[in-house]
C-alpha cells in the first residue's frame, strides 16, 4: 500500500461523558450519595482516536456531533490531542452523544450511553471521508455506530489494503457480512461470550472461544482485564499474555487505551505478539495511573512499566 497521510484512522462514536464518583454502583431502586462529578470527552471512537495521537501516531477521526455545546467540547478535545477532525460532521438536528459513568471506590465502573447524532452517520459519506483522508495502514472501528456505517468504510478500507480492526463493543450479532472485511477482532470476556456462545471466565475458557470468533479467518484477541489476554493469529495457535502486577487506580478507559496502543504498533508493522505485548503493558500503565494524572502521563506503547 502506498504511503498514507495517516497512521491510524478511527471511525466511531463521540460522547461527552458525565463522570460520577460513588462509594459503590447503585443496586435496583437504590439512591447512592456520590462525592463528585466531572465532564470528560469520550465515546469509544473518540477515546480510541485520542490515544494513538497522544502516542505520536498521525491520527484522523471520522464521526458525527451535534450543533451544541457538547459537540463543541468534543471537537476541541480531538483537535487539542492532535487528531485530524476535518471529517467529523455536524448534525443540525440530533444532539451530540453522551453518557453517564459511575466509578466506585475500587476503580470499577458502569455506564449508560445516549447515542444521539452518532446514529445519524451516513454510510456513503463515511466511505467518502475515508477516501478524502487518503487511507491509513490501520482502520479502527467499534459498535457504537450503525453497522451499515462500519460495513461501508470497511469495504473502502479493504479496497485500499488497509487493515481493519473491529473492537466489537458493545457486543451485537452482525446482520451484514461485515466480518468478511474484519482483519482483527478485539473483544473482552463479556463480548467474547455473547458473540461465541461459549462461557468465558478465564484464559482457558477464552481459548476455547477463539475458534468460535473466527480465528481461522482473522486475528482474534480476547482481553481478560486482571487476567491478561489470549489471542490467536489467523491460522496460528492460541497464545496467552499474563497480566502485569499493578495497583489499580481506575479501569475506566482501559480497553480504549489497549486498542490505541495496538493500532499504533500494527500501523508500524509490529507482529501480533509484539502489538499485544505493547498494548497489554500500556493498558496496565493506564489503569495504574489516577484519572487526574493521565493527561500528563506518557502512554507510549514503547514506554516501560515501573
pLDDT of residue 2: 56
Whole-structure pTM value? 0.92
pLDDT of residue 109: 79
Q: How far is CA 101 from the centre of its chain?
A: 16
Counting beta carbons within 10 angstroms of the beta carbon of residue 2, is it exposed (0 to 12), middle (13 to 18) or buried (19 or more)?
Answer: exposed
pLDDT of residue 1: 47
Which mean pLDDT values do the consecutive 10-residue runs of the chain (306 residues) have? 84 95 94 94 94 96 98 98 98 96 86 93 98 97 97 97 96 94 97 96 95 94 95 94 89 90 97 96 92 85 78
Q: Exposure pattern of 195-228 as b/e (b: 16+ CB <10 Å)?
A: bbebebeebebbbebbeebbbeebbbbbbbbebb
pLDDT of residue 252: 78
pLDDT of residue 306: 66
Domains annotated for the chain, with CATH where assigned, are 8-23+36-182+244-296 (3.40.1190.20)
pLDDT of residue 304: 78
CA pair distance 15, 44, nearest whole angstrom: 8
Amino acid at each position: 500500500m502506498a504511503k498514507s497521510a495517516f497512521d491510524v484512522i478511527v471511525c466511531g462514536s463521540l460522547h461527552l461523558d458525565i463522570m460520577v464518583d460513588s462509594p459503590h454502583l447503585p443496586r435496583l431502586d437504590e439512591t447512592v450519595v456520590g462525592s463528585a462529578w466531572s465532564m470528560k470527552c469520550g465515546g469509544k471512537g473518540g477515546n480510541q482516536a485520542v490515544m494513538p495521537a497522544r502516542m505520536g501516531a498521525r491520527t484522523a477521526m471520522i464521526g458525527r456531533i451535534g450543533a451544541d455545546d457538547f459537540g463543541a467540547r468534543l471537537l476541541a478535545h480531538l483537535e487539542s490531542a492532535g487528531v485530524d477532525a476535518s471529517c467529523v460532521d455536524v448534525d443540525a438536528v440530533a444532539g451530540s452523544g453522551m453518557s453517564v459513568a459511575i466509578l466506585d471506590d475500587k476503580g470499577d465502573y458502569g455506564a449508560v450511553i445516549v447515542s444521539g447524532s452518532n446514529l445519524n452517520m451516513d454510510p456513503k459519506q463515511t466511505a467518502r471521508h475515508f477516501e478524502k483522508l487518503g487511507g491509513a495502514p490501520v482502520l479502527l472501528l467499534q459498535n457504537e455506530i450503525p453497522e451499515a456505517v462500519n460495513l461501508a468504510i470497511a469495504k473502502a478500507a479493504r479496497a485500499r489494503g488497509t487493515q481493519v480492526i473491529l473492537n466489537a463493543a458493545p457486543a451485537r450479532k452482525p446482520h451484514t457480512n461485515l466480518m468478511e472485511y474484519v482483519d482483527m477482532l478485539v473483544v473482552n470476556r463479556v463480548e467474547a461470550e455473547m458473540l461465541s456462545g461459549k462461557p468465558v471466565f478465564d484464559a482457558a475458557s477464552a481459548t476455547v472461544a477463539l475458534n468460535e470468533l473466527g480465528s481461522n479467518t482473522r486475528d482474534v484477541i480476547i482481553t481478560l482485564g486482571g487476567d491478561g489476554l489470549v489471542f490467536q493469529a489467523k491460522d496460528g495457535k492460541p497464545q496467552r499474555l499474563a497480566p502485569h502486577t499493578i495497583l489499580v487506580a481506575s479501569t475506566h478507559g482501559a480497553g480504549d487505551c489497549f486498542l490505541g496502543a495496538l493500532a499504533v504498533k500494527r500501523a508500524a508493522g509490529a507482529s501480533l505478539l509484539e502489538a499485544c505485548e505493547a498494548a497489554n503493558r500500556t493498558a496496565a500503565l493506564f489503569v495504574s495511573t489516577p484519572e487526574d494524572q493521565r493527561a500528563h502521563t506518557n502512554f507510549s506503547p514503547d514506554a516501560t512499566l515501573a
